[in-house]
Amino acid sequence: MKKISRRGFLAAAGLSVAALALTACGGSASSVASSAAASSVAGSAAASAGAAGDLATVVAGKLTMATNATFPPYEMTTDSGEIEGIDVDTAKAIAEKLGLELQIDDMDFDAALLSVQQGKADIVMAGVTVTDERKAVMDFSDSYATGIQSIIVPNDSDIASPDDLAGKKIGTQRGTTGYIYCSDDFGEDSVVAYDNGLTAVQALNNGQVDAVVIDDAPAKEYVAANPGLKVLDTSYAEEDYAIGMAKGSALEDAVNKALEELKADGTLQSIVDKYINAN
Ligand code: ARG
């Protein structure tokens, strides 16, 4: 879908133009309508950003979230096919504050990052780490969580610290910071990029790689489900997670305001407790 260029024009034109854009583009949701709804609910921040911002094309009344639901406990797919997790509940709470209905689009992680850049989704929430490279191509909300790049190895491995990864085969998820850092530090030839963390862990189980580098929260979950593997008690990198949006997104101020409220009233913490601290 192409991004329709329109600056101030659309912000003034409102929902009828959003509907037109929808017909023209065949379907994805839009921050035009979103920002219209957001500005009525979340106040003038979104409205003024909307007037100045470069708006994406989206469906009326919806907040579209791109994600990659293979990353427990932030986003995972249940046996019955439902997508749940910390990011999902947080996005729902944000959408509610903006008076929008959350629509989740599940895809590969690298595609989810691209999706907001191309105006196909309003936000990407996928345990996304803020990096300078990503900041050059997208905007980020304030951070809502921290993560650590952890190392998973077989119980009997001789790998005990990040330095020991030198000369080993390292499994990662494609497009993630785990992949990027390991390629930078140990050379691309040493790093294998899998579709998702689970596939990387399966490759570790099968002896195709010597270690997997992935965020600590999913690492713990994968190891709990795979006897014979352990997470090293050492951190390879420390990171901040934030919500990604298109550069100049009209939603940014409203999303930050919602996030701030969810932090202040304890909602965010109770979501984290539901998925992490409770068990
Ligand atoms: N935090 C890492 C990154 O931003 C990994 C995120 C992977 N997320 C996912 N839903 N698969 O690169």
CB distance 150 to ligand 1 below 6 Å = no
Residue 253 pLDDT more than 80? yes
Looking at per-residue pLDDT, the higher value among 190 and 10 belongs to 190
Looking at per-residue pLDDT, the higher value among 254 and 26 belongs to 254
- The four Cα atoms 97, 67, 107, 129 give a dihedral, to 10 degrees, of 150
Separation of first and last alpha carbons in the chain: 42
Best probe residue, ligand 1, of 113, 173, 180 (max atoms within 8 Å of C-beta): 173
Best probe residue, ligand 1, of 84, 135, 176, 191 (max atoms within 8 Å of C-beta): 176
Q: What is the CA radius of gyration of the chain?
A: 20
Residue 258 pLDDT more than 60? yes
CB distance 71 to ligand 1 below 6 Å = yes
Per-residue pLDDT at 278: 55
Among the listed ranges 36-40, 74-78, 101-105, which one has the minimum average pLDDT value?
Answer: 36-40
CB distance 216 to ligand 1 below 6 Å = no
CB distance 127 to ligand 1 below 6 Å = yes
Residue 42 pLDDT more than 90? no
Atom nearest to 197 CA in ligand 1 = 11
Per-residue pLDDT at 60: 75
CB 141 within 8 A of CB 252: yes
CB distance 140 to ligand 1 below 6 Å = no
The average pLDDT across 46-53 equals: 35
Atom nearest to 67 CA in ligand 1 = 10
Determine the Cα–Cα distance for residues 138 and 135; give it in Å rounded to an integer.
Answer: 5
In 3D, which of 181, 153, 173 has the Cα closest to residue 239? 181
Q: Please give the distance, rounded to the nearest whole angstrom, from the Cα atom of residue 216 to the centre of ligand 1.
A: 11
Atom nearest to 176 CA in ligand 1 = 12
Cα dist from 41 to 31, 38, 61, 177, whole Å: 14, 5, 12, 35
Per-residue pLDDT at 178: 98
CB distance 35 to ligand 1 below 6 Å = no
Atom nearest to 239 CA in ligand 1 = 1
Among the listed ranges 220-224, 242-246, 275-279, which one has the minimum average pLDDT value?
Answer: 275-279
Q: Residue 225: which pLDDT band, with cuts at 50, 70 and 90? A: very high
Determine the Cα–Cα distance for residues 44 and 3; give it in Å rounded to an integer.
Answer: 25
Q: Please give the distance, rounded to the nearest whole angstrom, from the Cα atom of residue 11 to the centre of ligand 1.
A: 33
